[in-house]
Homo-oligomer: A and B are copies of this chain.
Amino acid sequence: MPNRRSSAAESQGEDLAARLLAEAEALVRRDGPDGIALRELARACGSSTMAIYTLYGGKPGLMQALYALGFARLHAYALSAEHRDAPLRWLVRQMLAYRRFALDHTGLYSLMFGGEKRFAPAGRNSRFASLAVPVEDAYPAFAALVDAVGACLAHHRERAPSASEVQDLAFLVWGQMHGHVGLEIAGYADPDDALGRYRNAVRFICAHCGADPTDVNAELAAAG
């Protein structure tokens, strides 16, 4: 008798599929990607496990939906860091936002980047010719990174950087961010000094862009 087509939950504008996904995100936040039990998820939503199969095709389908949701969340963090009129601020805040996202959503982050490849790669996109990304859902978040790196590089160099130059540096930046954050989440960073170390990485990258270290420190201080 619960969960009729016109139940109170639906009147809130959340249909069953959305509620399942939201609850799954809560579970992945609490217990990590491997902590999702379909029975518990269904019980929390007042339905049975069959709903997950008809709506998402099974657990892998649900995980892939969570995967896409993770990139949507990451994209939102990236947008909040956008400063097209101040390229250095843009890049600095973009890098800090990446870490903030990872620490705010460790479960999703582990699902997206932890361990071995889980999802089939998407078709190549000309804009990311050498920045392979598993699924299309990831494009917007990485476009934001490439744009920030490109803007910062263009601002601190006399001539406009080439596309491959920007992509090379963007991958380096991404690697630096993911490396630090991944180590931190896995427990390899001193909790008292992790932010300081991450700031070192930001300075490292910005210096390579040609930015003045004093300006970088000012941006870091302003960003908190």
Residues of A within 8 A of B (CB): 32-34, 106-107, 110, 112-117, 119, 121, 129-134, 168, 171-172, 174-180, 182-183, 185-191, 193, 197, 200-201, 204, 208
A168, closest chain B residue (CB): B200
A107–B117 alpha-carbon span in the complex (Å): 11
Point out which of A131, A185, A187, A191 has the most chain B C-beta atoms below 10 A from its C-beta. Answer: A187
Do A187 and B106 contact each other (CB < 8 Å), given the known contacts A32-B115, A113-B182, A182-B182? no
| 10 A-B pairs (CB sep. < 8 Å) | A110-B115, A110-B116, A112-B186, A119-B187, A129-B190, A134-B187, A134-B188, A168-B197, A171-B200, A178-B179
Which of B117, B176, B177 is the one whose CB lies under 8 Å from A186?
Answer: B117
Q: Is there contact, CB below 8 Å, between B130 and A188?
A: no
A187, closest chain B residue (CB): B117
A172–B201 alpha-carbon span in the complex (Å): 7
Q: Is there contact, CB below 8 Å, between A115 and B183?
A: no
A116–B107 alpha-carbon span in the complex (Å): 8
Which chain B positions have C-beta within 8 A of A115?
A: 32-33, 110, 114-115, 185-186
Q: Is there contact, CB below 8 Å, between A185 and B116?
A: yes
| Number of copies of chain A assembled together | 2
Interface of A is mostly: helix
Q: Is there contact, CB below 8 Å, between B110 and A187?
A: no
CB distance from A109 to the nearest CB of B (A): 9
CB distance from A169 to the nearest CB of B (A): 9
CB distance from A34 to the nearest CB of B (A): 7
Which chain B positions have C-beta within 8 A of A113?
A: 182-183, 186, 188
A37–B119 alpha-carbon span in the complex (Å): 22
Q: Is there contact, CB below 8 Å, between B182 and A178?
A: yes
A174–B188 alpha-carbon span in the complex (Å): 10
Which chain B positions have C-beta within 8 A of A129?
A: 190
A193, closest chain B residue (CB): B130
A3–B178 alpha-carbon span in the complex (Å): 46
Which of B33, B106, B133, B190 is the one whose CB lies under 8 Å from A131?
Answer: B190
